[in-house]
Each structure stands twice: as structure tokens, then as C-alpha cells.
């Protein structure tokens, strides 16, 4: 399933010793072709980790044969040595893959996407990492179990692996794995997500589909407003199905898949007790709808109110007011889980009618300023979030 | 002391019944002249409460005779009736003051600044408020005790009153009271602060001094990133000292006073255990220094790390990277409480040397991109913050 569901892909994983827990912490995904097309989107944080700087260059060529991921260390702010570790990782994986397939195509370091996740500012032990990758290469397999193990190896504070797959009736498949349980924020890829497809698509088509899909899914997740230095969403195509999909159909399926993975990330976000969908309707533009949704998603007062099961719509409107979006405070409506608690900028239905006992919360803000809408997803702010992020260095 | 320290001012307070606790909740400050100059800065939240909308108009004229404040209800998002309550409040206070001084100058509603703080979206009971103001007017006094009682009456979740005074050797005095223990955020006045002076200054001079002072003090407090709908910093001048101060000296004293009150607010912020000063040096401009400081101040991951006494500088740099400020990630330095934990974008001195056991924390980020600097103040994110903002509707 998931990252090996598409034909032409194998996954492997192993324990390099980078996680204090001693759990598996490296994963490899290999594209056996015939195609080696790749696309990716990266964090928009200007402090980008070494593997992001490296992988941006790899993806620019439009082709990649393999993806090497480690958890336990982000290899970010680790100085020039950190970049050398990333470079050596790519060269090492290329050499190992070449040696495993003596008759196969030559693999160079420039064919290897590298991702790291974990603590920032601590040197990444290259010896441990390369040893782990050797073991991961030895375990490469197209089986479901290999995909499942890879999904576990890339976990950090995640409590469970995330995976999804779409098998298209027209003969192609797209699937993937994801990790990320905090530091989810928009304007970037927001996590590590590795997608594979056997559809026969070139890098340009992959790039278009991936950007369209992430724009309305991962880019609109905002768990805690914090933007990571390492986030990467990659999509590799083997072409092994031999099917050239309709691009719109492929993009739609990819978008659904990304939304599914995004929801899995949200529902496992650090310490969260509620998953909150903030739908902004009646906006003058989609951008303004997203701006308003994000402002509400980032309000510590809204997030603590949701944790306390308090439909405190005043805090929602206070957040809306911090944006530049067009709206008249005397016209805006707010509904929480279906109850119109604020009508035309004043008290509406009885807030005691709102039931916030379940995990899912829907906040609808109608600005009455236009015809555009957008949804942003976030979590509540809980004691467990504070505990997890204060008691541990991550 | 404080709001009645300057000659020409009286304060009064009473219990109107607006606070569930039954504590005093209304305050009056009256300027007996000879001058009636006023200036104020207000929240930049676009969802402004009715008293803000009213008081903006009052201040535009440059003159005011009185200030009426209530806690317990923000009178925000309360519909057209809410504005009528504010309007009635001003007219009522004007009538009461006129009746108390039959021979004195006529006071109109347009001479009364009105401020409210408390819950949003719940109708404010005008009857209770006006009754409380009658009682407050009956208690008007220039005594220290009256000022202290007024400082207590404007408190919401504050645990202690805030006050400060500066007596200038040249013969004039400026002092004030403040409240605000959460929802402190920049780009606005961030709280209720009421300042009085007996210096002989006109409204234009007051306005210049107040804007200069708040720009580098209250505007750079960011407790929880949440911008209130009601924040107001007012400054009234009676001219009763007869002294025309040097404007630069007055501005400097006012700035120090505002910084003092700002620190008092920070040290009483909801649930906080640390007061964090983030000094950004080596920025290309002051605006960029503020932008960087604010990004660090708003990072939930930085704030929880400080709570956990963890000098996690990677999280600080991840926050810096979200800004548009000029900097090279490979040149930036970070010091926490005097220990240079990050040097030139890589690990520096041992982070275990950092002592975060005290209340005060200083983070210095040197961007090495210019000669400008600025300091932004914030608090840590604690269990108590989450508790206070989830367990209670405020």
C-alpha cells in the first residue's frame, strides 16, 4: 500500500540510531522506472535545512531515482559540515543502488532526493546515517510491509504512521506516506510527504499537479503557526502503468489524497483534542478568505477556547479584525458547529446550544463581502501541546 | 500617586455589578483644568468596540474633560444597542459632572472619553453601568487612595493594579494607571492605559509625545499575539502646573513611564512564568528588527521552550526564517541569557550553560545585516495560560 502501491517503487527502512528512542529512523524509496520524473514543493522558511537546499537542486533537473529520509535530526543550522553530510548521503545512496543493480542504469548523487526531520542545530552523525541507509537498502521491497515500515521510520513525535492510496479505474495509482505532528504551518509544504505514482507523466506535469494539490491542502493546514525549516512534499513517477492519465483527473485524485494525508496529520497533531475547520465564506477574494481563516487559526485565544469547549465567537471576530480583508464588522456572521452564534455582528443564537464535545469543529465565518471562500484547518491549543513542546527538546 | 499625581485631576470608582466577581468595575477620571487637552491611540484591530469608535471622535477635537471606564464587558459586537449604551454613558457622565459643579464649565457628552474592557459579544447593561458611574462620581477625589482604587476597578484578569508616576524637577508631573493581562499584541495600544499630566501642553503636542512613546513601548509588547478590540492609551493634560515642558524631555519621560507600565503588564500576563525580551541587532532597518522580534515573540514553539527552560535556539532561527528581513542564515548569531548558543548559523557555546530558572529572559538575535536594532517583549506559553483561557469565557 501507500508509497509502494504504484508499480515501479520499492521501499526500505532501518534503525540508524538517530532517534533517542532507538526506533527505526531511516527510509529509502527507490523508483525503478521506466520513468524517473520528480516534482517537489519545499518550505518557504528562509532558514532552510541542508537537505532542502540539496533536494531543490535535484528536483530542478526533473528526475530522481531515489529518496533518502532520516528522522531524529533535521540537519539544519549545522554549519558547512551539515551540507557535506547531506551531499555524502546522496552520493552514498547512489553508489549503493548502483552496486545493487550492476546491469541497471547508473545512479548519481544528483538523482537522490534527501530529507531530514528532527532536532535543529545539532550535528547529524553521518556515520550512523550511512550505516542505516545501507541496512535500509538491503531491505528494499515493493511489499506493503516495506511501505508501512517506511511510514513508521519517518515519524518523529507522530503517534501513528500516515498513508493513503488512490487506485484509478483507468489503470494508474498514486499513493504516499506522511509525517508531521507539530510545526504544521502554511505557506509551505508543512511536513514530510512522499508520494509515488505509476502514471506516465513528465516532471512538468507532476509539478503542475503537485502545486495545484498542495495549494488547497497542505498549504492550508496550520496546526501551531510555526513554519518548519525542513518541510518537503515530493512526488515521483515511474510511468510503470503505461497509462497517461487525464491531467485534470490526476490532479483531482492527487488533491483528494493530499487532503486525506493532511487530515491524518491534523488528527495526530501534538497534544490536540480538536480538529478545527475554519471555512470563510463571502470573501472578496480567495486570498482574503485564506488570510481570514489563517488569522483565526493562529489565534491562541480562539484555540484555547476550543480546547475549553467554549464557542467564544468574540475571540473569532477579534482575530478577523486583525486582517486586511474586506468586511463590515456589522454584517459578519459566525456559526460554530452549525449554530449561528453571531448574526450581523451581534449576538445570534444561544451559544449554549453549541456542542464542542466531539473531535471535529467547524467554524464558518461569513464576511458578506463577496463570493469567494476557502477553508483553513487547525487544532486547539491544549495542556498536552504545552507539555510536549516544553518538556522535550525537539 | 499615578493617575491623580498630576495636579488638576480627580479619580473615582465604584461597583456597578458588571464583574461576576462583584469587585469594583467602573472608574472615572476628571480633568479640572485649566486645560482640557487630550490625545489617545487606539487598537488597530478593524473590529473596534463601540467605546473605541466613540472615543476616537472625542479625541479628534483635542479636548476632553473626563474619562469613563468599565471592566467586565467590552461592549464590542453588541449591535447598534451597544453604541447607544456608549453614547448614553458619555452624556450621563457629562450631566453628572455639570450638576456637581454648577458654576463650572459646561461639560457635554463630546467631552467624555469612554473605555470598556471585558467579554466580547454580550450586551452591556446600561442601567448597571450608569448607576455605577453615579457612585464613582460621588467618590471623586485627588487622593492617592482614589487613584489606587481606580487602578483596581479597571482590572480584568489582572492579579494586581498597575501604576507609575514621574515627577519632573522642572515642575510638571505625568502619571497613569494600566490594565491588561492577556491579548497584549502590537500594532496597537494593546491595553487600557490612562495617563494624566499637569504640564501645559496642547493636544497636538500630547499626540506627538504619545505616539512617539507608544511606538517603542506598548506597540512592542506581544504577550500572546492576540490583538484586542478595545485597546486605548489616553493622555490628558490639565496644564495645572503652569509649566510648559521641553517637548523632548516630556517625550522621554513619557516613554520611560510607558515602558514601566508595559513591563508591569508583561509581568502580570495571564499564566506567564517568564518575561522575555527579544533584542534584534544588526538589522538592515528598525522595521525589520521589529518584524524579526515579533516573529520570535509569536512562535508557540519558542514560547513553550522558554516555559520548559530549554534554550532551543533552532526554534528561534526557524521563526526568524519566516520573516522577510535581510539576513544570511549562515551568519546569524543567537545568545540566550548571555550565552552565545548559536554562532554564524551553527552550534556555538554549550546550551547547557544557559540558566532559564529566573523570570527574566533575554534573547539576542544578531542578523549581521545592518546597524539597526529593536526590542520586542513577550511571555512564555504555559499550562496556566492554556488553563486561564480555556476554562473561563473572557
Question: In this predicted model, what pLDDT tens digit does every residue of A9-65 receive, in sequence order?
Answer: 999 999 999 998 999 999 999 999 999 999 999 988 888 899 999 999 999 999 999
Going by pLDDT thresholds of 50, 70 and 90, the confidence category of residue A126 is very high
Residue B393, marked binder: no
> Percentage of chain B with pLDDT > 70?
95
**CA–CA distance, B3 with B147 (Å, rounded to integer):** 6
Three-state SS for B277? strand
pLDDT score of B186 more than 70:
no
Give the Cα-Cα-Cα angle A357, A362, A365 (nearest 5 degrees). 135
Predicted pLDDT at B337: 97
pLDDT score of A393 more than 70:
no
Predicted pLDDT at B191: 77
Give me the residue from A78, A227, A382 closest to B386, CB to CB.
A382
**CA–CA distance, A240 with A131 (Å, rounded to integer):** 30
Predicted pLDDT at B248: 96
Which H helix or E strand runs over A333? strand A333-336
What's the pLDDT tens digit per position in A292-332? Answer: 999 999 888 899 999 999 998 988 998 898 898 999 988 99
- Considering only A249-263, B89-103, B171-185, which range has the smallest mean pLDDT? B171-185
With beta carbons under 8 A apart, name residues in chain A contacting B292: none
C-alpha cell at B365: 538575535
What's the pLDDT tens digit per position in B335-346? Answer: 999 999 999 988
Give me the residue from B77, B320, B390 closest to A314, CB to CB.
B77
- Quick check: A322 and B45 CB within 8 A? yes
Give the active site residue among A4, A15, A78, A190: A190
ipTM: 0.77
- Quick check: A386 and B389 CB within 8 A? no
C-alpha cell at A262: 493532511
Going by pLDDT thresholds of 50, 70 and 90, the confidence category of residue A161 is very high
What's the pLDDT tens digit per position in B85-136? Answer: 999 999 999 999 999 888 877 899 999 999 999 888 889 999 999 999 999 9
Predicted pLDDT at B189: 30
Give me the residue from A121, A304, A322 closest to B389, CB to CB.
A304
Contact present, A186 and A220 (Cβ < 8 Å): yes
pLDDT score of B1 more than 70:
no
Interface probe with B: pick from A119, A303, A322, most Cβ of B within 10 Å: A322
Whether B190 sits among the annotated catalytic residues: the reply is: yes
First to last CA, chain A: 30
Q: Around B294, how many Cα atoms within 13 Å sit in the side-chain half-sphere?
A: 21
- Considering only A95-99, A182-186, B60-64, B269-273, which range has the smallest mean pLDDT? A182-186
3-state helix, strand, coil in chain A (%, to 5): 35, 25, 40
Going by pLDDT thresholds of 50, 70 and 90, the confidence category of residue A186 is very low
Going by pLDDT thresholds of 50, 70 and 90, the confidence category of residue A134 is very high
Burial of A204 by CB count in 10 Å (0-12 exposed, 13-18 middle, 19+ buried)?
A: exposed
- Quick check: B308 and A383 CB within 8 A? no
- From residue A347, alpha-carbon distances to A319, A335, A382 in Å are 17, 11, 27
pLDDT score of A190 more than 90:
no
Q: How far is B394 from chain A (nearest CA, A)?
A: 8
Higher pLDDT, B191 or B113: B113
Taking CA–CA distances from B388, the nearest residue in chain A reads A304
* Residue A47: count of CB within 10 angstroms of its CB: 26
- From residue B322, alpha-carbon distances to B295, B299, B326 in Å are 7, 10, 11
**CA–CA distance, A6 with A245 (Å, rounded to integer):** 14
**CA–CA distance, B243 with B222 (Å, rounded to integer):** 36
C-alpha cell at B295: 516573529
First to last CA, chain B: 30
Contact present, B38 and B234 (Cβ < 8 Å): yes
How confident is the model over A154-178, as a mean pLDDT?
93
Residue A75, marked binder: no
Predicted pLDDT at B381: 87
**CA–CA distance, A305 with B344 (Å, rounded to integer):** 41
- Quick check: A229 and B318 CB within 8 A? yes
- Quick check: B121 and A314 CB within 8 A? yes
pLDDT score of B23 more than 60:
yes
With beta carbons under 8 A apart, name residues in chain A contacting B345: 77, 79
Report chain A's mean pLDDT, rounded to a whole number: 91
Domains of chain B: 2-267 (3.60.70.12), 275-391 (3.10.20.340)
**CA–CA distance, A358 with A379 (Å, rounded to integer):** 13
Predicted pLDDT at B188: 31
With beta carbons under 8 A apart, name residues in chain B contacting A390: 304-305, 307-308, 310, 381-382
User: CB under 8 Å to B287, separation ≥6 — which residues?
Assistant: none
Predicted pLDDT at A185: 45
Going by pLDDT thresholds of 50, 70 and 90, the confidence category of residue B60 is very high
Amino acid at each position: 500500500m501507500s508509497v509502494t502501491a504504484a508499480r515501479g517503487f520499492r521501499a526500505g527502512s532501518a534503525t540508524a540510531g538517530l532517534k533517542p528512542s532507538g526506533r527505526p529512523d531511516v527510509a529509502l524509496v527507490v523508483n525503478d522506472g521506466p520513468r524517473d520524473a520528480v516534482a517537489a514543493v519545499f518550505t518557504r522558511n528562509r532558514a532552510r535545512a541542508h537537505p532542502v537546499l540539496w533536494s531543490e537542486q535535484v528536483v530542478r533537473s526533473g528526475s530522481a531515482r531515489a529518496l533518502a529520509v532520516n528522522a531524529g535530526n533535521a540537519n539544519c543550522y549545522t554549519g558547512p559540515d551539515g551540507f557535506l553530510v547531506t551531499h555524502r548521503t546522496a552520493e552514498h545512496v547512489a553508489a549503493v543502488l548502483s552496486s545493487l543493480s550492476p546491469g541497471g542504469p547508473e545512479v548519481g548523487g544528483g538523482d537522490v532526493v534527501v530529507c531530514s526531520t528532527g532536532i535543529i542545530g545539532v550535528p547529524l552523525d553521518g556515520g550512523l546515517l550511512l550505516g542505516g541507509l545501507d541496512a535500509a537498502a538491503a531491505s528494499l521491497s515493493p511489499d506493503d510491509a516495506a511501505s508501512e515500515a517506511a511510514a513508521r521510520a519517518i515519524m518523529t513525535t507522530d503517534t501513528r504512521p500516515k498513508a493513503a492510496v488512490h487506485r484509478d479505474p483507468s489503470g494508474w495509482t498514486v499513493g504516499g506516506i506522511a509525517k508531521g505532528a507539530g510545526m504544521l504551518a502554511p505557506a509551505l509544504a508543512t511536513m514530510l510527504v512522499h508520494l509515488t505514482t505509476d502514471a506516465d507523466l513528465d516532471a512538468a506535469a507532476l509539478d503542475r499537479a503537485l502545486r495545484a494539490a498542495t495549494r488547497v491542502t497542505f498549504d492550508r493546514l496550520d496546526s501551531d503557526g510555526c513554519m518548519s525549516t525542513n518541510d518537503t512534499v515530493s512526488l515521483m513517477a515511474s510511468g510503470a502503468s503505461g497509462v497517461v492519465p487525464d491531467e485534470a483527473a490526476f490532479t483531482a485524485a492527487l488533491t483528494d489524497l493530499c487532503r486525506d494525508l493532511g487530515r491524518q496529520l491534523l488528527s495526530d497533531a501534538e497534544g490536540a483534542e480538536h480538529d478545527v475547520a475554519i471555512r470563510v465564506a463571502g470573501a472578496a477574494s480567495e486570498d482574503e478568505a485564506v488570510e481570514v481563516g489563517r488569522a483565526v487559526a493562529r489565534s491562541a485565544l480562539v484555540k484555547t477556547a476550543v480546547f475549553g469547549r467554549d464557542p467564544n465567537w468574540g475571540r473569532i471576530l477579534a482575530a478577523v479584525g486583525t486582517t486586511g480583508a474586506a468586511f463590515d464588522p456589522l454584517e459578519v456572521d459566525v456559526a460554530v458547529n452549525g449554530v449561528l452564534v453571531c448574526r450581523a455582528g451581534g449576538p445570534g443564537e444561544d451559544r449554549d446550544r453549541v456542542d464542542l464535545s466531539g473531535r471535529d469543529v467547524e467554524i464558518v465565518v461569513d464576511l458578506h463581502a463577496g463570493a469567494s471562500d476557502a477553508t483553513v484547518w487547525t487544532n486547539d491549543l491544549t495542556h498536552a501541546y504545552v507539555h510536549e513542546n516544553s518538556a522535550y527538546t525537539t
